[in-house]
Chain A
Amino acid sequence: MKYSGGELLLKALKDEGVKFIFGYPGGAALHIYDAIFRQKYVDHILVRHEQGATHAADGYSRATGKPGVVLVTSGPGATNAITGLATAFMDSIPLVVISGQVQSHLIGTDSFQETDMIGVSRPIVKHSYLVQSAEEIPSIVQEAFYIAQTGRPGPVVIDIPKDKTDPLHKYKYKKPAKPYLRSYQPKIKPHPGQIKKAAKAILSSERPVIYAGGGAIYSNAAKELSELNKILKVPVTNTLMGLGVYPAKNKLFLGMLGMHGTYQANMAMHNADLILAVGSRFDDRITNTPSLFAPNAKIIHIDVDPASISKIIKADIPIVGQVKDSLQALIKEIKRSKIKIDTDAIDIWNIQIDKWRKKHGLDHDLYQKKLKSKMIMPQVVVQELYNVTKGNAYVTSDVGQHQMFVAQYYHFNKPRRWINSGGLGTMGFGLPAALGVKLAFPKQEVVCVTGEGSIQMCIQELSTCLQYGLPIKVVNINNEALGMVRQWQDMNYGGRHSASTYQNSLPDFVKLTESYGHVGLKVTKPSNLRKTLEKSFAMKDKLVFIDVLVDPNEHVYPMLVAPNGSMKDMWLSKNKKT
């Protein structure tokens, strides 16, 4: 048998175990689309905008741990995929994005729908390929999947000129040998000497904090993290990307840290004598002013990417390696060590943390309280969502206050359940990501918590959800404003709401949803909230869009004081600072 380049591509994707391609057709990709039509192993999901394809593949990947696959045409198809590529790049998500390109002989001539995809995407991909001959497609695909998933994961682009997929030219298919790259050998095994040093430092500490991020999730190290802390019994905080890697219900969990982290998490970090950073990267949304960060802490930093270590905060004990392997080694070493952690000191530390929690911790029982406001509080929406879904849903979100409220109030007990754009902060991510998750887990509850601003950036994907029968739930925390922008304007710009409101121009979301063929519900009164959510989730086979009108004056606190603040400097309300 001989195959066209398009067919070779599909065979290679099948060999990688690909189930879904998220894509959108166009001229330069049509040979590939024809090859898709003539096979039955890989399903193509037709989105409504290429940005949606990238986010859907991204959501699929975050939930499953497998790479997400995207197919777009050249020119505008490729450029529309850029936001999704950047989103995946920032959060280290393995995607393989295949873009059609104009025919080889037209490259560089400003031909119709020509964009230099390799050039445009260069700074936001882990690697990229321009296919030079059809025969190399299988080995390139295999290499792309290998690179996307190993080391620090990330998106890989394969740009394929149209003539390389032409059915007029046929080739033999041979499954390529395992990829070997002399220039790329992701270092995996942590250095035993460093593990020894780290164990000793941890066991000699009196005020330690474990600070775990997305890297711990991608490395599937949740089990190891819990196992380690069964021995240590020290406080654990998670980054926005790390939520779920340590069970929120565990009493040693501090909640999220950073910009909108809990009081106890930020105070613990600031006052720690040792910070064990696990697959987290000291992002500026965490550290506040780096020179004021955790002044007395020894830093142990575990990361698979050596470039992440000592980039922002100097690590005293760097450990380069997969988080999973590193934690396993650390557990072994700690068990074997003659030094034992000073449990009295740790008890005192945990008591101190409890005091902080009691003093300014988040109120997780707002939903049970008689509240002054006649309007629904956005925090209560998340609390009720948690109650109704029993904390078991896959929750995606967009970007803004609603996102932070979910991070603060939905208790994630398992990894890969909380799916959001942390690094790039991409509005429009939530709905297509939810679609990707639902395809992966059709029996699971999948909720997109969004805002009326964000949802309008990729709302067209409601149509995709109808086509493929994806009954997700959308909870629109509608504050009739670009809430997070307005919050910053209230804090830093004297309340001047420049371009953060819509002057009564919002669509009727219920009608809009209905016109997409789904169920739309609106809630305005606190007394109807729980009921409406229950009713929505009872409609198992329907996509329900719940438009919840909330109090627009609610802001997200705590909020780190910037500029020139440390992690202990927080706004606790609009007028109250620590």
Chain B
Amino acid sequence: MKRTISILIENKPGALARAVGLFHQRGYNIESLNVAPLTDGTYSRMTVITKGTENVVEQITKQINKLIDVIKVSDLSEGEHHEIELIIFKFIKSKYNTRIQKILRKKKISVIERSDVVTVAIIDENSDFDSLVKSIGKNNIHEIVRSGGVGIHETEKNLNL
């Protein structure tokens, strides 16, 4: 089962490597990973999307919590949450046809056009990336970049210091 885990971690040298390394050491997989520092810059929030049974995810959160630099861990999948991703497609202008534009207009997008290429940034919730690419046609896309899912509780619940 897909799981979205949020981690608050000290913004110290080596801290990220410890958290990421732990997944490998303990045989857990990382589907996607997103990390950036928050307000005062002393700590970061990570979102790790992983797959595993209830037991495996319980172990993951406990093991991550054990890292000295980790401040808090929460398995967002236990409750209602948003999992939002930024996907950026770049198209050669000539291939950016009306069919593709129609597909993309159904999403929250921002478009940057140049004479040669069009870059489309999509903010996608619970995205089905594979079927999106399929519907556009893989060969029509010049370049792709994804942020990986970023998770947040849907309700008042928060994960703060």
Residues of A within 8 A of B (CB): 118-119, 122-123, 126-128, 130, 132, 147, 152, 181-184, 305-307, 310-311
Can you name 18 A-B residue pairings with CB atoms under 8 Å? A118-B14, A122-B14, A122-B18, A122-B21, A123-B21, A123-B25, A128-B14, A152-B66, A181-B68, A183-B69, A306-B65, A307-B59, A307-B62, A307-B63, A307-B65, A307-B66, A310-B55, A311-B59
Chain B hits for A122, CB < 8 A: 14, 17-18, 21
List 20 additional contacts besides A122-B14, A130-B13, A305-B66; criterion CB under 8 Å.
A122-B17, A122-B21, A123-B21, A123-B25, A126-B68, A128-B14, A132-B13, A152-B66, A181-B68, A182-B71, A182-B161, A183-B10, A183-B70, A184-B68, A306-B62, A306-B65, A307-B59, A307-B63, A310-B55, A311-B59
| Alpha-carbon distance A123/B20, docked complex (angstroms) | 11
In the bound complex, CA of A306 to CA of B55 (Å): 13
Interface status of B31 (Cβ within 8 A of chain A):
no
On B, residues with C-beta under 8 Å from A are 9-10, 13-14, 17-18, 21, 25, 55, 58-59, 62-63, 65-66, 68-71, 161
Chain B minimum-CB-distance residue to A122: B21
- In the complex, which residues of chain A have a beta carbon less than 8 angstroms from the beta carbon of B14? 118, 122, 128, 130
Chain B residue numbers with a CB within 8 Å of A306 are 62, 65
Say yes or no: A127 contacts B68, CB within 8 Å: yes
B21: A residues at CB distance < 8 A: 122-123
**B43, closest chain A residue (CB):** A183
Give bound CA distance, A147 to B70, whole Å: 14
**Are the CB atoms of A310 and B58 closer together than 8 Å?**
yes
Closest residue to B10 on the A side, CB-wise?
Answer: A183
Residues of B within 8 A of A310 (CB): 55, 58
B9 — which chain A residues lie within 8 A by C-beta?
183
**In the complex, the 6 A-B pairs of residues with the closest C-beta atoms, listed nearest first:** A307-B62, A127-B68, A183-B71, A123-B25, A184-B68, A307-B63
With a cutoff of 8 Å between Cβ atoms, the chain B residues found around residue A181 in the complex are 68
Q: Total A-B pairs in contact (CB under 8 Å)? A: 37
Which of B17, B66, B69, B71 touches A119 (beta carbons < 8 Å)?
A: B17
Docked Cα-Cα span, A183 to B71, in Å, equals 4
Bound: A305/B67 CA distance, A: 12
How far does the alpha carbon of A118 sit from the alpha carbon of B13 in the complex, in Å?
A: 11
Among A147, A181, A184: residue with most chain B CB under 10 A? A184
Q: Which residues of A contact B70 (CB under 8 A)?
A: 183
Contacts of A184 in B (CB 8 A): 68
- Known contacts A122-B17, A128-B14, A130-B13; is-contact A183 B68 (Cβ 8 Å): yes
Task: Point out the residues of chain B lying under 8 angstroms from A128, CB to CB.
Answer: 14
Q: What is the CA–CA distance of A305 and B58 in the complex, to the nearest angstrom?
A: 14
Shortest Cβ distance from A305 into B: residue: B66
Task: Give chain B residues whose Cβ lies under 8 Å from the Cβ of A307.
Answer: 59, 62-63, 65-66
Return chain B residues, CB-CB under 8 Å to A311: 59
Given that A122-B18, A182-B161, A307-B63 are known contacts, is A147 also in contact with B68, CB under 8 Å in the complex?
yes
A residues near B13, Cβ cutoff 8 Å: 130, 132
Considering the complex, give the chain A residue whose CB is closest to the CB of B13.
Answer: A130
Report Cα–Cα, A429/B137, bound state, in Å: 61
Chain A residues with CB below 8 A from B58, complex form: 310
Name which of A132, A183, A310 has the most chain B CB atoms within 10 A of its CB: A183
In whole Å, how far is B135's beta carbon from the nearest beta carbon of chain A? 42
- Complex Cα distance, B25 from A119, in Å, reads 13
Which residues from A are CB-within-8-Å of B10? Answer: 183
- Give bound CA distance, A310 to B57, whole Å: 12
Q: Which residues of A contact B66 (CB under 8 A)?
A: 152, 305, 307
In Å, the complex CA distance between A182 and B43 comes to 11
Which chain B residue lies CB-closest to A119?
B17
CB distance from B30 to the nearest CB of A (A): 16
Closest to B71 in A: A183
| Residue ID in chain B nearest A151 by CB atoms | B66
Q: How far is the CA of A132 from the CA of B17 in the complex (A)?
A: 17
Minimum CB–CB distance from B43 to chain A (whole Å) comes to 8
Residues of chain B contacted by A152 (CB below 8 angstroms): 66
Chain B residues with Cβ under 8 A from A130's Cβ? 13-14
Please give, as numbers and ranges, the residues of chain B lying within 8 Å of A123 by CB-CB distance: 21, 25
Min C-beta distance of B22 to chain A, whole Å: 8
Tell me the complex Cα distance, A181–B10, Å: 10
A237 to B65, CA, bound (A): 31
Q: How far is the CA of A305 from the CA of B65 in the complex (A)?
A: 10
| Contact partners of B55 in chain A: CB under 8 A | 310
Distance from A467 Cβ to chain B, minimum over Cβ atoms (Å): 37
Residues of chain A within 8 A of B68, CB atoms compared = 126-127, 147, 181, 183-184
Q: B25 — nearest CB in chain A belongs to which residue? A: A123
CB distance from A163 to the nearest CB of B (A): 17
- Give the complex CA separation of A184 and B9 in angstroms: 11
B59 to chain A: which residues have CB within 8 Å? 307, 311
Interface centre among A119, A152, A305, A307 (most CB of B within 10 A): A307
Give the chain B neighbours of A126 by CB distance below 8 A: 68
Query: How far in angstroms is the closest Cβ of chain B from A92?
Result: 12
B48 to chain A, nearest CB (A): 17
Q: How far is the CA of A305 from the CA of B18 in the complex (A)?
A: 18
Q: How far is the CA of A310 from the CA of B59 in the complex (A)?
A: 8
Closest residue to B61 on the A side, CB-wise?
Answer: A307
**Minimal beta-carbon separation of B152 from chain A (angstroms):** 21
Say how far B69's CB is from chain A's closest CB, in angstroms. 6
What chain B residues lie within 8 Å of A182 (beta carbons)?
Answer: 71, 161
Shortest B68–chain A CB gap in Å is 4
Complex Cα distance, B17 from A123, in Å, reads 10
A209 CB to closest chain B CB (Å) equals 24
How near does chain B come to A187, taking the closest CB pair, in angstroms? 10
CB distance from B5 to the nearest CB of A (A): 15
Report A283 CB to chain B, min CB distance, Å.
Answer: 15
Which residues from A are CB-within-8-Å of B62? 306-307
List the A side residues contacting B17 at CB < 8 Å.
Answer: 119, 122
Nearest-neighbour CB distance to chain A for B73, whole angstroms, equals: 11
CB distance from B9 to the nearest CB of A (A): 8
B44 CB → nearest A CB, Å: 12
Report the separation of the CA atoms of residues A484 and B57 in the bound assembly, to the nearest whole angstrom. 37
Which of A123, A130, A132 has the largest number of chain B CB atoms within 10 A?
A123
Complex alpha-carbon distance, A307 and B57, angstroms: 11
Bound-state Cα–Cα, A183 to B8, Å: 9
Complex formed: what's the CA distance from A305 to B62 in Å?
9
In the assembled complex, how far is the CB of residue B84 from the closest CB belonging to chain A, in whole angstroms? 26
A184 vs B12: C-alpha distance in the bound complex, in angstroms? 14
Q: Kindly provide the distance from the CB of A410 to the nearest chain B CB, expressed in whole angstroms.
A: 34
**Distance (Å) between the CB of B102 and the closest chain A CB?**
48
Measured CA separation A132–B12 after assembly (Å): 11
